[in-house]
Every structure is written in structure tokens, then in C-alpha cells.
């Protein structure tokens, strides 16, 4: 496609700058600072890095002088547009916890001055598209990101002289500026003079272009540009074969190279921080001394931190090799399943700015070249994005039931409307201002409120368990994919629960028992540590006389008064108790589920007829913080319930 | 929650103690000025000799902040007593957390230092090693830095008061450095920087002023000291210099002590 293109004189850049600054727009662009070319708000064209260039190698960057006055005669520096829209640290909402136990939440959404970005490279324009997808154009629309990003004018620059670390051509992101920019510049500096070809890619770009002084670009000039771009494409410093790369990387999870890289990798997080597309974040709840006033903040995190893999006070990725593997497999592999495109645009920043000089391209090639790929899950369809404020609403404790020594069920009324919409297996994010937020599965609907069964294992869950009737807390959700209630209908259903794993299954059980026509045969196998740890005893007893319901209970240890089974739950699974035609839903500790899946498979239930729940420490619950990643899945939105074949290649593996 | 409103609990008692140290970390607490007022409404600062004449040498405390390392026998005894009388013990600063600059003498002949430094060596009574608080008693929370960071100190105290986990990240200085938008001094200038293996908390102060991090917050979680040492050597830093860098402020921390020892061996 040919876009309207004008040839303008170098001096005409001043006019372009003035046009971009109209309506109090802040113009951001490259400038020289602290020995590098960084992005900053600019006052005039003269602040651009005129006559400067950069020399880059793995772990090395040097700013040097050019022998001409090129305006864009360099590639990319350490900064990208990312922080303009997804700031390194920001407040999402303020929360208040009053003396009477009531809570309030006030979203913080900025209303920044509109921006114009001048001189954005093709790779960075592509990276902006990726971030748009993460934060704005998928299921959820993050209003803070949107407020900063919408109405931004983007003036791109075609890359005619790529650097030694560049591989945008391999990633399909450059060197030609693509969708996302309003204007694209090509800088020409030769015996014929110093000119720019300015191409309008959008209507807005066209409006700007029409106000620039210049002539229509000649055929020769357009040919020059296209040839320069073609030659740039051929002279990329690095190349990467991306065909089936996700499947090849996931087939190489046990490659010895991961461990070898760990002897050089500092796990410092510099790579993810300079990456223009990395989106992972963590959150904190700093408060005043009373804990009465809290800000919920979000900050850039990295898969190289222990916090990123945190689960119940441990980290799922203790080793540097596992963290590096997470980074590379996410970037080039999981990302494709998550977003329908690779997470890398080939800018080379992570190679230049790695203090240890690790070359991501070389490592990925060493690991994935020649490997035959495994099949990856296909990206899920994106429905129209809905506004996601990430801000909790208040809920009031209607009832509090002590289930065991450390487990409490809270029935909550969602304020203001008392809504009780959720699917069995989904979860809520429960929060206490000043203390924190955690994912808690929904354990039922008692007709008045939504029930949550919580085990006191940390400060937050202890505080939640201690809430009294009438007290308030924060709730977000419901989130996630629940049990496949439709697929379970018709035939026998085997439900296997371990310990508190019965909680997310209870509402599914209730609904099945309430509808014997759709669910004629339901069998619950429930194992707990001791008889005292069995949940919902009274309710279970009330079910045993129902036709079409079978209950099998076992405990690990019991005193002399216990008459039931002792031993692991898998011992109860036998041909006599499990029909081969059954479908099974499982929830419990990962080891228990692993043994159960194998036992059920032996009894004739293929992986496609078994569903498990995965546990990760969800932070955002909307697929935007990366915390809950499990291979190519986000547990928060693709799970927590998975059909076993979706996760079988990952299940039971360490360091994911 | 609701019930808390009616009967305000007795203010928790805070004690601030000093072992072998320079007082810089306690000064950070005093430097909290505005916040200190608010804090003193919430907690009973029962023992803080540096800031007030009010002391309570033998009392019991909900939170004890301990500055300084154990460098003399009386300090060890006092520390045991503080621990016994305190529900929570928080070490503040590099000395208390990893032995501090004083740990430079570890493994050396102390009497020689004493003779070299003091006019009347006879008055000096010192142990031959400077050790962190955690070598003697259990520690509930360690606050890094030389000196500590005011915001981190307030965060820990707030979290302990409110009953949540302190929001203190065990990540590298690089993470903070990048969030601030600094240009990496190691990559852009070849400046030796310990940031990749050092615990965050200072806000990447040194790189902000175009200097390499010298590690006053001590090692981060999983510090890749060997990998960084190898890289800095590639950049031309000699082994002896590397050893000095790892030894300086947090040289008593095992990860740094080990790396320094390795470099010294290589140098000899
Ligand atoms: S992974 Fe590296 S090369 Fe790819 S976009 Fe991120 S920083 Fe650039
Ligand atoms: S200057 Fe030091 S702390 Fe900052 S990114 Fe570079 S290596 Fe890390
Ligand atoms: S992506 Fe944030 S919790 Fe899943």
C-alpha cells in the first residue's frame, strides 16, 4: 500500500515540532543525557541527538559523534515509550478502613496532558501495539493505561541503518514503521542534501502532513526509501528463526543450556526492565501508621525476582536457570499463546543493557535450533474489552462459620447490590486495606451471600479469618474459568478433593445434587489430614441419602474413634467406585492431583475427561501482571480450572 | 476490626538500642521528623538514648530496633538481654545485619589494628571478630543499608503495627535503577557496579550520580557474585580491587565474604 508521502526540507522539522506541540501537547523524543540517547520531553528540535550515534555490543553501549548532522542517526537507547504509558510505579487506588469496620475504595486515574512521540523506531511502535494489547485491547481495559495512551500522536522513524544487536526483521516488527504510527519519517542525507520523506499512515497523520511545507515525494525518492529499507532488512545485526519457536522452546525445557546461562546471568532484571514490551508487575499496599489509609500501588517487576514466583511464602522459581527459562519461554513462546503474537520486537535492548552481556538471540538459538516442537495451546479469542478498574468494591460479612482450627467460611454481601453472580470454581480477590489482597476461591452461595472458605496461613488470611459479622472488606471479581458444568452433565461425575480443595468444588457439588436429572451420578472422594480437618461435615452428612450420590472419605491420620478409611485418597479409586465413562474434577495439593490423574487414567479416564485446578499467587487477576503464569497460561483467566491435557506437559515440573 | 475501635490497645513499646556502630541509622529515625511525631503517638518510644533522656534499660519491648554489630563481649551480653525482653527484634543497618565495616578485621590480627589505631591500646577491649546480630540471637526482620533508608524504616514499623508483611523487595539495585530511568553506568561507561547483586532499598543512589553501586545494602536474594566478578574482570577490574569492593560495607555477609575470599586467593 502506498501512503501519501511528502518530501520536506530538514528545516521543516521545526514546523512539524510546532504542529505536534499544539493544544498543549507534550512532545517526547530522543535526546542525549548521561552518555546515552534517552527519551525525554523536548522543548525543540535542537534537543534531538543531532550528529550523535551509538555503538552497541552485548553488555556495552557507547555514545559517539557522527561526522554528519543526521537527526536520527542511531538505533535505540536504554529507554522506550513503555514508561510513558505503563509507569514504573503508580497508585491504582486509595483505600480507607474506618473505625466502625467499614471500608471505601477510590480509584486513581490520571488525566495527563496529551502527548506526541517524535522519532519512534519501528520496533518500538510494534512494542506499543503489544502493550496496547496487554493493557487496553484485550478482555480488560486498564483505564490508567488508556488515559495515558489514548490520543497520543506517534511519529515513527524508518530504520535505515540497523545496529549490530537489531533483529526486528526476524520478529516482523521492522525496519519499516507499521501500524500504530500516524507519520513515518525517512531521513536522507547525501550529496543531494538533507531531507525527510514524511509518510501519513493515518487520517490524523494526513492532517498533519497537509500542513507541512513540501512537495509530493518523487518516484525516485520513494524507490530510494524502499531500497534503503530492503537493504536494512538484509543487514540486521542478528537473525532468529521464529518458525514454531514457541513449540521448540517448550520442547527444550530440560536443555542443559539453561543451567549454563545461570552461571553468567545475574538475575538482576535489567533485561525485562529495558524491554519495551515486558509488562509484569507487582503491587504493594503502603499505609499510614494506623493502616486506616492505604494506597494500592503497582510497580514494574521481573521474572528474575523471587517475588514474581511467590506462592505461600516460597518462590516457584528459586533457581536463576528457571528464571531465565521463564523469561525466554515467555517472551518467545508463551506470549504467542497468551496474546496471539510474540513478545519480542527484536530491538536488542536486553542484549546491550544486560550488565553481563548475555545475548538472548544466541541463547535462544543454542537452545531451540533443530528441536522438534511440541504443540502449543492456541491463543484464546478476545472478546470486546470491558472496563477493568482493578479497584475493589466493599463487601460485608453476613455470616462467619468456623470449619476447623484454622479454616473459616465467610458469607459476604457484595455492596451495594448484593449480587451473587459467579460460576462454580471461580475466585474473588479479597482485600483488607492496609493488609493486602489475595485470591480466594468462591465456596458457595448460601442464598444470602457469597461464601469463601479461607485457611489462615499468613497475615492477610489470618486477618480475614478474624473478621466479625458486620465488618467489611474489599472484593474484586469474580474471575477465572470455573468447572465445566455443561460438559459434566449426562454421565457419571467423579469429584476428588484434598483438604481445603473441597472449597472450590462445593458449589459445583451443590448445583449437581440440586439437578439430578442433568447429573444423575455424582461421586465425591474426599481426603483430609485428620477427621478434624474435614470441611463441611454437616452438609456432607446431609447429602449421603440422596439417590445418585456416593461419598467416600479418608484421612491421613486418625484417632481410635475414627471408623472410616485411613490413607491417601487414591486408594479409594477402584474399578468398583469409578466408572470408566466418568468425567472427573479434581482439587487439592498438586501431588495429590498428580497421583489422582494417573490413578483415574488407569481406570479408563483419559486426560481430556479430567479437570484440575492450578494455584498461583494472583495479583491482578486480569491477565495484566504476569504473576500467575503457568507456562503458556495465565492461571487467573485461562484457569484456575484446566482440562488436564492443557497442562499435562507442565504438571509436576519444578521451576515453572 | 470493629472491636478494635472501642478499646484502643495499649501503645506498643519501642526500644532503640546501639551496639558497635556509628549512630547513622538511629539518625535516620530522628531524621523522620514529621513522621516521628505521628509515630510517637502510636508507639511508646520507651528507650531511645540517642534522641531523648528517657531510657528504660531493663524494660520489656514490643519492638526492639538494634543498630550495630557485636564487637565486644558486653555487646553480646546486652544483645542477649534485649532479645529476651523483646517480642520482635529488628536489626537496622549493615552493621547489625552483616557486621558492617568493622567486619573488615575478621580473619585479621585485631591486636595489631588496636596498636596501630589507638594511642593507649590497653584501654581497648574488643572481640577479634565483628559479627551480625543474627549470629547471636534470632532476628525477626533485617533492615539493610548504610545508613538505612527512612522510607524502609517507616514501612517496617508501619507493617509491624498494622499487622502485615513489610513491603520491602528483595530484588536487585538494578530494578530500582531502571525504574528511575538511570542510564546504566556499567554498560554505558564500563563503571564497576555491584548493583546486580545488591539488595534494593537505596533508590539506586550511586548510579543516579554516575557512580557504581558499592553495596551498602548487602547481598540481594540469590546474589550471583561469581558471575558479576567474572564480568567485572572482563571489564578490566583486577582481582584485588574486586575483593576490596565485596569486602567494604557488607563484607561480613557470607555471599560477599566468600566472593572476596575467592578473589583474594586468586590475587595471592
Ligand atoms: S526481548 Fe529483548 S530484543 Fe526483544 S523486544 Fe524485549 S528488549 Fe527488545
Ligand atoms: S548502573 Fe548498576 S544498578 Fe544500575 S542497572 Fe547498571 S548495573 Fe544495575
Ligand atoms: S496475570 Fe496478573 S494474576 Fe494473572
Domains for chain A: give ranges and CATH numbers. Answer: 5-91+108-234 (no CATH), 245-368 (no CATH), 392-479 (2.40.30.10), 485-613 (3.40.50.80)
Q: Which residues of A touch B225 (CB under 8 A)?
A: none
Instruction: Kindly tell me if the per-residue pLDDT of A655 is higher than 80.
Output: yes
Nearest residue by C-alpha to atom 1 in ligand 2:
B184
Closest among A570, A641, A636, A591 to A612, alpha carbons compared: A641
Q: Which of B42, B167, B189 sits opposite A289 (nearest CB)?
A: B42
Given the cut 0.90, state whether the ipTM is greater than it.
Answer: yes
CA B155 to chain centre: 15
Identify all chain B residues contacting A302, using CB atoms and an 8 Å cutoff.
171, 175
Q: How confident is the model at residue B165 (pLDDT cuts 50, 70, 90)?
A: confident
Q: Which of A355, A430, A459, A619 to mutate to test the interface with B (most CBs of B within 10 A)?
A: A355
Taken in order A152, A158, A162, A166, the sign of the CA dihedral is positive
Chain B nearest-CA residue for A436: B164
| Pocket lining: A424 vs ligand 3, CB cutoff 6 Å | no
pLDDT, position A299: 97
Assigned architecture for domain B13-162: 3-Layer(aba) Sandwich (3.40)
Distance (Å) from CA A638 to ligand 3 centroid: 10
Of A62, A263, A355, the CB nearest to B186: A355
Residue A118 grid coordinates: 517524535
Task: Work out the average pLDDT over B227-246.
Answer: 95
A274 touches chain B (CB under 8 A): yes
Residue entry with cell 509507569: A87
The model's pTM is 0.93
pLDDT of residue B2: 40
Is A356–B231 a contact, with Cβ atoms under 8 angstroms apart? yes
Q: Do B164 and A291 touch (CB under 8 A)?
A: yes
Cell of B141: 526482620
Most confident of A124-128, A382-386, A563-567: A124-128
pLDDT at B126: 67
Question: What pLDDT does B5 receive?
Answer: 44
pLDDT at position B123 is: 63
Instruction: Give A59's contacts in chain B (Cβ within 8 Å).
Output: 186-187, 231
**Strand partners for A416:** none
What number is the average pLDDT over the span A265-280? 97
Give me ligand 3 centre to Cα A555, in Å.
34
Cα separation of A566 and A425, whole Å? Answer: 28
Residues 6+ apart with CB under 8 A from A349: A76, A78, A80, A165, A271, A274, A275, A276
pLDDT at B43: 86
Name which of B222, B225, B234, B259 to mutate to probe chain A: the one with the most chain A Cβ atoms within 10 A of its Cβ. B222
What whole-number percentage of chain B has pLDDT above 70? 86
Q: How far is Cα A363 from Cα A605, in angstroms, rounded to an integer?
A: 40
- From the list A267, A284, A289, which residue is nearest B222 (CB)? A267
- The predicted pLDDT at position B4 comes to 41
User: Minimum mean pLDDT among A169-183, A360-374, B72-86, B171-185: which range?
Assistant: B72-86
C-alpha B18/C-alpha B20 separation (Å) is 7
Q: What is the pLDDT of residues B255-267, one digit of tens each?
A: 998 999 999 998 7
Phi then psi for residue B106, to 5 deg, are: -55, 135
Overall average pLDDT of the A296-307 stretch? 95
Higher pLDDT, A229 or A654: A229
pLDDT given for residue A547 in this prediction: 87
As a whole number, mean pLDDT of residues A78-88 equals: 97
Ligand nearest A364 Cα, by number? Answer: 1
The CA-atom distances, in angstroms, between A591 and each of A151, A596, A630 are 50, 8, 16
pLDDT at A396 over 90: yes
Q: What angle do CA A500, A503, A507 make, to 5 degrees?
A: 165
Q: Is the CB of B213 under 6 A from ligand 2?
A: yes
Is residue A612 pLDDT above 60, yes or no?
yes
Q: Which ligand is nearest to the CA of A271?
A: 1
Measured from the alpha carbon of residue A616, the closest ligand is 3
Residues of chain B with CATH 3.40.50.700: 13-162
Task: Using a pLDDT cut of 70, give the percent of chain A over it.
Answer: 99
What pLDDT, on a 0 to 100 scale, did the predictor assign at position B116?
A: 66
The cell for B40 is: 510517637
How many whole angstroms separate alpha carbon B76 and alpha carbon B97? Answer: 14
> Is B94's pLDDT higher than 80?
yes
As a whole number of angstroms, the distance between CA B96 and CA B99 comes to: 6
Name the phi and psi angles at A97, rounded to 5: -130, 110
pLDDT of residue B72: 87
Contact indicator for A240, A171 with CB cutoff of 8 Å: yes
Q: Is 50 exceeded by the pLDDT of residue B3?
A: no
DSSP strand E in A201-276: where? 215-216
CB contact (8 A) between residue B172 and residue A286: no
Q: Which ligand is nearest to the CA of A298?
A: 3
CA-based nearest distance A654→chain B, Å:
18
Count of other CB atoms within 10 angstroms of residue A220: 8
C-alpha triplet A169, A358, A624: angle, nearest 5°: 65
**pLDDT value at A385 more than 70:** no
Ligand 1 center–CA A123 separation, angstroms: 9
Segment holding B197, helix H or strand E:
none
Q: Which of B36, B164, B191, B259 to mutate to test the interface with A (most CBs of A within 10 A)?
A: B164
Instruction: Give the 3-state secondary structure of residue A267.
Output: coil
A239 touches chain B (CB under 8 A): no
Which atom of ligand 3 sits closest to the CA of residue A623?
1
Q: Check if the beta carbon of residue A307 is closer than 8 Å to that of residue B166.
A: no
Residue B219 has pLDDT above 70, yes or no: yes
Query: Residue A519's Cα: distance from chain center in Å?
Result: 36
Size of interface A-B (CB pairs under 8 A): 171
* Residues in the ligand 1 pocket, defined by CB under 6 Å: A 274-277, 331, 344-350, 360
Say if residue A215 is exposed, middle or buried (CB neighbours under 10 Å; 0-12, 13-18, 19+). Answer: exposed
SS (H, E, C) A276-295: CCCCCEEEECCECCCCCEEE
Pull the grid cell for residue A504.
472450590
pLDDT level of residue B120 (50, 70, 90 thresholds): low
From the list A481, A484, A303, A248, the residue with the least C-alpha distance to A380 is A481
CB atoms within 10 A of CB A558: 17
Is the Cβ pair A34, B182 closer than 8 Å?
Answer: yes
List, as ranges, residues 76-135 from A with C-beta within 8 Å of B.
Answer: 78-79, 83, 88-89, 97, 99-101
| pLDDT band, very low/low/confident/very high, at A289 (cuts 50, 70, 90) | confident
Ligand 3 atom with minimal separation from the A635 CA: 4
Cβ of A626 closer than 6 Å to ligand 3, yes or no, is: yes
How far is it, in rounded angstroms, from Cα A639 to Cα A651?
Answer: 14
Higher pLDDT, A430 or B24: A430
Q: Is the CB of A272 under 6 A from ligand 2?
A: no
Q: Is A623 in the pocket of ligand 3 (CB under 6 A)?
A: yes
Query: Above 90 in pLDDT, residue B53?
Result: no
Examine the pLDDT at A160 and tell me if it is beyond 90: yes
Q: What does the mean pLDDT of chain A come to?
A: 94
C-alpha cell read off for A424: 462454580
Best of B227, B235, B236, B255 to disrupt the A interface by mutation (most A CBs within 10 Å)?
A: B227
- State if residue B177 touches ligand 2 by the CB under 6 angstroms criterion: yes
> What is the DSSP annotation of A91-157?
EEEEEEE-TTS-EEEEE----PPPEEEEEEEHHHHHHHHHHHHHHTSSSEE-HHHHHHHTT-EEEEE
Amino acid at each position: 500500500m502506498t501512503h501519501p508521502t511528502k518530501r520536506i526540507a530538514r528545516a521543516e522539522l521545526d514546523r512539524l515540532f510546532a504542529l505536534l506541540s499544539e493544544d498543549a501537547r507534550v512532545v517526547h523524543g530522543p535526546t542525549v543525557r548521561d552518555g546515552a540517547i534517552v527519551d525525554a520531553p523536548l522543548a525543540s528540535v535542537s534537543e534531538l541527538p543531532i550528529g550523535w550515534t551509538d555503538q552497541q555490543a552485548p553488555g556495552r553501549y557507547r555514545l559517539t559523534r557522527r561526522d554528519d548532522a543526521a537527526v536520527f542517526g542511531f538505533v535505540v537507547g536504554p529507554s522506550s515509550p513503555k514508561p510513558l504509558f505503563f509507569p514504573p510505579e503508580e497508585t491504582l487506588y486509595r483505600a480507607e478502613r474506618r473505625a466502625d469496620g467499614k471500608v471505601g475504595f477510590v480509584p486513581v486515574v490520571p488525566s495527563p496532558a496529551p502527548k506526541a512521540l517524535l522519532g519512534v523506531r519501528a520496533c518500538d511502535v510494534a512494542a506499543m501495539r503489544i502493550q496496547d494489547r496487554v493493557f487496553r485491547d484485550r478482555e480488560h481495559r486498564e483505564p490508567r493505561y488508556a488515559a495515558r495512551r489514548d490520543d497520543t500522536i506517534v511519529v515513527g522513524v524508518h530504520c535505515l541503518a540497523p545496529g549490530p544487536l537489531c533483529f526486528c526483521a526476524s520478529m516482523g516488527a521492522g525496519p519499516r514503521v507499521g501500524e500504530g504510527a500516524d507519520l513515518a519519517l525517512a531521513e536522507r542525507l547525501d550529496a543531494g542534501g538533507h531531507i525527510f520523506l514524511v509518510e501519513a499512515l493515518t487520517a490524523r497523520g494526513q492532517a498533519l502532513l497537509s500542513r507541512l511545507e513540501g512537495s509530493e515525494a518523487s518516484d525516485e525518492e520513494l524507490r530510494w526509501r524502499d531500497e534503503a529499507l530492503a537493504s536494512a532488512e538484509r543487514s540486521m545485526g542478528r537473525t532468529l528463526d521464529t518458525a514454531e519457536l514457541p513449540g521448540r522452546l517448550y520442547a527444550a525445557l530440560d536443555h542443559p543450556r539453561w543451567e549454563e546461562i545461570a552461571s553468567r546471568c545475574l538475575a538482576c532484571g535489567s533485561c525485562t526492565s529495558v524491554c519495551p514490551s515486558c509488562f509484569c508487575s507487582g503491587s504493594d499496599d503502603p499505609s499510614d501508621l494506623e493502616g486506616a489509609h492505604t494506597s494500592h500501588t503497582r510497580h514494574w517487576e521481573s521474572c528474575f525476582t523471587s517475588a514474581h514466583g511467590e506462592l505461600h511464602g516460597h518462590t516457584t522459581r528459586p533457581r536463576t536457570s528457571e528464571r531465565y527459562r521463564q523469561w525466554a519461554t515467555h517472551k518467545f513462546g508463551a506470549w504467542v499463546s497468551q496474546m496471539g503474537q510474540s513478545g519480542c520486537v527484536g530491538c536488542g535492548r536486553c542484549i546491550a543493557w544486560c550488565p553481563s552481556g548475555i545475548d538472548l538471540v544466541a541463547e535462544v538459538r543454542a537452545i531451540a535450533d533443530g528441536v522438534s516442537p511440541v504443540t502449543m495451546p492456541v491463543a484464546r479469542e478476545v472478546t470486546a474489552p470491558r472496563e477493568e478498574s482493578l479497584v475493589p468494591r466493599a463487601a460485608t460479612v453476613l455470616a462467619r462459620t468456623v470449619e476447623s482450627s484454622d479454616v473459616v467460611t465467610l458469607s459476604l454481601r457484595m455492596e451495594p447490590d448484593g449480587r451473587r453472580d459467579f460460576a462454580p470454581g471461580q475466585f474473588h480477590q479479597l482485600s483488607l486495606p492496609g493488609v493486602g489482597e489475595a485470591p480466594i476461591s468462591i465456596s458457595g452461595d448460601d442464598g444470602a451471600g457469597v461464601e469463601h472458605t479461607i485457611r489462615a496461613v499468613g497475615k492477610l488470611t489470618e486477618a480475614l479469618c478474624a473478621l466479625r459479622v458486620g465488618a467489611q472488606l474489599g472484593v474484586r471479581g469474580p474471575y477465572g474459568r470455573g468447572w465445566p458444568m455443561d460438559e459434566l452433565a449426562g454421565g457419571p461425575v467423579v469429584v476428588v478433593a484434598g483438604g481445603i480443595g473441597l472449597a472450590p468444588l462445593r458449589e459445583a457439588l451443590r448445583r449437581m445434587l440440586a439437578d439430578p436429572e442433568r447429573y444423575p451420578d455424582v461421586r465425591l472422594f474426599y481426603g483430609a489430614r485428620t477427621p478434624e480437618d474435614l470441611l463441611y461435615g454437616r452438609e456432607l452428612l446431609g447429602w449421603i441419602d440422596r439417590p445418585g450420590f456416593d461419598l467416600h472419605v479418608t484421612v491421613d491420620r486418625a484417632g481410635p474413634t475414627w471408623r472410616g478409611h485411613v490413607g491417601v485418597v487414591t486408594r479409594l479409586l477402584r474399578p468398583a467406585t469409578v466408572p470408566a465413562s466418568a468425567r472427573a474434577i479434581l482439587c487439592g495439593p498438586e501431588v495429590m492431583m498428580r497421583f489422582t490423574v494417573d490413578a483415574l487414567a488407569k481406570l479408563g479416564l483419559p486426560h481430556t475427561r479430567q479437570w484440575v485446578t492450578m494455584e498461583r499467587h494472583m495479583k491482578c487477576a486480569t491477565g495484566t501482571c504476569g504473576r500467575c503464569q503457568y507456562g503458556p497460561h495465565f492461571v487467573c483467566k485461562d484457569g484456575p480450572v484446566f482440562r488436564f491435557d492443557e497442562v499435562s506437559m507442565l504438571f509436576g515440573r519444578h521451576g515453572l | 476490626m470493629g472491636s478494635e475501635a472501642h478499646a484502643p490497645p495499649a501503645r506498643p513499646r519501642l526500644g532503640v538500642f546501639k551496639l558497635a556502630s556509628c549512630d547513622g541509622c538511629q539518625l535516620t529515625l530522628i531524621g523522620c521528623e514529621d513522621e516521628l511525631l505521628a509515630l510517637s503517638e502510636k508507639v511508646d518510644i520507651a528507650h531511645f538514648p540517642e534522641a531523648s533522656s528517657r531510657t528504660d534499660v531493663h524494660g520489656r519491648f514490643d519492638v526492639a530496633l538494634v543498630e550495630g554489630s557485636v564487637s565486644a563481649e558486653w555487646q553480646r551480653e546486652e544483645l542477649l538481654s534485649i532479645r529476651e525482653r523483646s517480642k520482635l527484634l529488628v536489626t537496622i543497618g549493615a552493621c547489625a545485619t552483616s557486621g558492617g565495616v568493622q567486619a573488615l578485621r575478621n580473619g585479621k590480627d585485631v591486636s595489631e589494628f588496636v596498636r596501630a589505631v589507638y594511642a593507649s591500646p590497653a584501654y581497648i577491649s574488643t572481640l577479634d571478630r565483628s559479627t551480625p546480630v543474627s549470629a547471636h540471637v534470632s532476628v525477626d526482620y533485617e533492615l539493610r543499608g548504610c545508613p538505612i533508608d527512612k522510607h524502609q524504616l517507616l514501612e517496617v514499623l508501619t507493617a509491624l503495627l498494622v499487622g502485615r508483611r513489610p513491603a520491602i523487595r528483595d530484588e536487585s539495585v538494578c530494578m530500582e535503577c531502571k525504574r528511575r530511568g538511570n542510564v546504566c553506568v556499567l554498560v554505558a561507561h564500563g563503571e564497576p557496579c555491584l548493583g546486580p547483586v545488591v539488595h534494593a532499598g537505596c533508590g539506586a543512589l550511586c548510579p543516579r550520580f554516575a557512580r557504581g553501586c558499592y553495596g551498602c545494602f548487602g547481598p540481594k536474594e540469590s546474589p550471583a557474585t561469581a558471575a558479576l566478578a567474572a564480568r567485572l574482570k572482563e571489564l578490566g577490574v583486577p582481582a584485588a580491587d574486586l575483593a576490596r569492593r565485596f569486602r567494604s560495607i557488607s563484607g561480613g555477609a557470607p555471599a560477599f565474604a566468600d566472593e572476596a575470599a575467592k578473589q583474594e586467593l586468586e590475587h595471592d
